[in-house]
DNA sequence: ATATGTGAAAAGTTTCACAGCC
DNA sequence: GGCTGTGAAACTTTTCACATAT
């Protein structure tokens, strides 16, 4: 089993975790551009962080840099990939083939980051069998079978809020460990084996509107 | 001009701001259900927060509750709506009619929260004029004119990462104050009149994968 | 009896600033 | 010269616990 490097006490700050994927995205971009080293100052500028913060975050997992030089892009990429579990590919299922689900089924960003869409589902019988972006909609009856067959740990939920809780309970029983929820509802999970991440687009627009309203008086 | 209540020093904690939209969503839900009062404990449970945190957050804007009783749903809803700028409707434009843009143009969650899609744009000439969800795609040439005409302050960007920075600069010049960015790139804004909020779905999936990998050892 | 509002303590996070190494 | 790694300080956020109000 992949244990993190021995020195690391197993308490990664939540704030650091939230930024880890951000670092990885930028580093992968740099690697594609052929850059071999990067400085904390440069990374920070690109992501809206201070250089000290970048160094602190990275130092939590080990000493990846070289004083006077910077960080090896390749090495950092590998290290963060390991830490985040991007060193392997993840089979993912998508449930809900409405407007949003259809768009998500064709979104290439997922597989670029190591996530393979192995099946798409919808509860509407008339949609079952319809192809979207080269994949046929399956009946929800087949949910458990598909999860077992592909050892699916992650599910994307693009269903109405009213169906979310029920589906999450079912997914949890089936062995799924993480759900990316697009409905504007908070999910309750009893067991610790299930993580949920919410993406609420209207909520983000509201936060934006608040920033705009309060723009003048602050900074 | 709507100034916040006089006693409030103009420093709302960032963490509180991030939760405000969450409270509003839940309160609106309660109001629709006909509930008249709500307790901090109940709200917190619904949102995964402690009761103390809910009370602290709300107390920053004033004293909305009644000791021994709780909060009036109606009053709280109104107050938070005021604070967040949801008391009025916002005209919004959407740029980019790929997979995601098409889904977003049909997403009803935006207008439910006070955002009206007044125009949709794409840079591809062959898409201009095509209707999506009852609205025709306009040429980007008309961007500035539309922004002026409808006094648009918010834009949703569903374009490739490579076009984002250029478009944001243009939007800023045109008078737009906020952008909801769906591309996996960080945007740099020079002026303080422009706020950006990112929604990176692949990034959230990665964070989820990290949680799942680290599930066992923590809590 | 019950629930808010809030000082004060605790926990978490960021920034400073500089020793250490290239 | 330049840049990392990290203690210590500064700042932010959360939690505790209880006076206060109904």
Q: pLDDT for B111-138, tens place per residue?
A: 999 999 999 999 999 999 999 999 999 9
pLDDT at residue A217, rounded to an integer: 58
The separation, in Å, between residue A196 CA and nucleotide C17 C1' comes to 40
Predicted confidence band of residue B174 (pLDDT cuts 50, 70, 90): very high
Of A20, A199, A203, the CB nearest to B21: A203
Give residue A44's pLDDT band: very low, low, confident or very high (50, 70, 90). very high
Alpha helix positions (H), B155-216 = 161-174, 201-213
Mean residue pLDDT across chain A: 92
pLDDT-wise least confident of B7-21, B29-43, B74-88, B153-167: B7-21
A176 close to A147: Cβ distance less than 8 angstroms:
yes
Distance from chain centroid for Cα B110: 9
Query: In this model, does residue A5 exceed pLDDT 50?
Result: no
pLDDT band at B219 (very low <50, low <70, confident <90, very high): very low
Q: Which long-range contacts (CB under 8 A, 24 or more apart) does A48-54 make?
A: A48/B186, A49/A19, A54/A23
pLDDT at A216: 58
* Residue A98: predicted pLDDT: 95
Strand D: which bases are under 7 Å from protein Cβ?
1-7, 12-17, 20-22
Separation in Å, CA of B211 to nearest CA in chain A: 7
Residue-wise pLDDT for B56-91, tens only, equals: 999 999 999 999 999 999 999 999 999 998 889 999
A46–chain B Cβ distance below 8 A for any pair: yes
Average pLDDT score over residue span B101-112: 94
- Is A192 near chain B, with CB under 8 Å? yes
CB contact under 8 A, A201 and B180: yes
Q: What's the CA A131/C1' C6 distance, rounded, in angstroms?
A: 58
Could you check: is the Cβ of residue B45 within 7 Å of any atom of nucleic acid strand C? no
Chain B nearest-CA residue for A15 = B207
Instruction: Please state, in angstroms and rounded to a whole number, the distance separating the CA atoms of residues B70 and B72.
Output: 7
Check residue A191 and give its pLDDT. 74
Nearest nucleotide to the CA of B11, by C1', is D12
The alpha-helical segments, DSSP class H, found in B34-182 are 40-47, 51-59, 73-84, 99-105, 109-112, 143-150, 161-174
pLDDT at B5 over 80: no
Give percent of chain A above pLDDT 70: 94
> For testing the chain A interface, which of B132, B205, B211 should be mutated: the one with the most A CBs within 10 Å?
B205
Check CB contact of A106 with chain B, cutoff 8 Å. Answer: yes
Is the CB of B219 less than 8 angstroms away from the CB of A12?
A: no
Sequence-ordered list of residues with C-beta below 8 angstroms from that of A128, at least 6 positions apart, any chain = A122, A137, A138, A139
- The answer to which of A8-17, A136-145, A183-192, B116-125 has the lowest mean pLDDT is A8-17
The 10 Å CB-count burial string (b at 16+, else e) for B197-207 is: bbbbbbbbbbb
Q: Note the pLDDT tens digit of each residue in B179-205.
A: 999 999 999 887 788 999 999 999 999
Q: Is A192 left (phi over 0), alpha (psi -120 to 50) or beta?
A: alpha
Short-list A67, A74, A57, CA closest to A12: A57
Q: How high is the pLDDT of residue B191? A: 74
Average pLDDT over residues A182-209: 92
How high is the pLDDT of residue A3? Answer: 32
Length of chain A: 219
Q: Is the pLDDT of residue A10 over 60?
A: no
The predicted-structure confidence for A65-120, as pLDDT tens digits, reads as follows 999 999 999 999 999 999 998 889 999 999 999 999 999 999 999 999 999 999 99
What pLDDT, on a 0 to 100 scale, did the predictor assign at position B87? 83
Question: What is residue B11's predicted lDDT score, i.e. its pLDDT?
Answer: 78
Sheet containing A178-181, strands listed edge to edge, beginning at the edge strand earlier in sequence: A131-132, A135-139, A115-122, A90-95, A154-157, A178-181, A195-198
Task: Give chain B positions within 8 Å (CB) of A202.
Answer: 107, 109-110, 112-113, 115
What does residue A186 show for φ and ψ, rounded to 5 degrees?
-90, 135
Q: Alpha carbon B215 to chain centroid distance?
A: 30
B64 touches strand C (CB under 7 A): yes
Give chain B residues 143-202 with Cβ within 7 A of strand D. none
* Angle at alpha carbon of residue B205, lines to A57 and A137, rounded to 5°: 170
Report the mean per-residue pLDDT for chain B.
92
- The Cβ of residue A23 has, within 10 Å, a number of other Cβ atoms equal to 22
Say what the pTM is: 0.92
Whether A192 sits with its Cβ under 7 A from any strand C atom: the answer reads no
Comparing A214 with B196, the larger pLDDT belongs to B196
**For chain A, what is the total number of helices (H) and then of strands (E)?**
9, 10
Protein residue minimizing CA–C1' distance to D12: B13
């Amino acid at each position: 089993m992949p244990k993190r490097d021995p020195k690391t006490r197993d308490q990664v700050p939540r704030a650091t975790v939230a930024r880890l994927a951000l670092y990885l995205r930028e580093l992968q971009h740099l690697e594609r551009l052929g850059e071999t080293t990067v400085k904390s100052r440069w990374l920070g500028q690109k992501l809206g962080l201070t250089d000290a913060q970048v160094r602190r975050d990275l130092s939590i997992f080990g000493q990846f840099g070289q004083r006077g030089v910077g960080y090896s892009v390749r090495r950092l990429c590998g290290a963060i990939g390991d830490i985040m579990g991007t060193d392997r590919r993840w089979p993912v299922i998508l449930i809900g083939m409405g407007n949003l689900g259809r768009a998500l089924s064709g979104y290439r960003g997922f597989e670029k980051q190591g996530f393979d869409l192995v099946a798409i589902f919808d509860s509407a019988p008339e949609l079952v069998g319809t192809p979207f972006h080269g994949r046929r909609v399956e009946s929800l009856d087949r949910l458990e079978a598909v999860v077992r067959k592909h050892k699916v740990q992650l599910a994307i939920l693009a269903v109405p809020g009213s169906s979310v809780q029920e589906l999450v309970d079912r997914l949890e029983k089936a062995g799924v460990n993480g759900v990316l929820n697009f409905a504007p509802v908070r999910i309750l999970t009893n067991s610790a084996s299930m993580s949920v991440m919410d993406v609420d687009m209207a909520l983000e627009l509201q936060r934006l509107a608040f920033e705009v309203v309060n723009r003048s008086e602050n900074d």
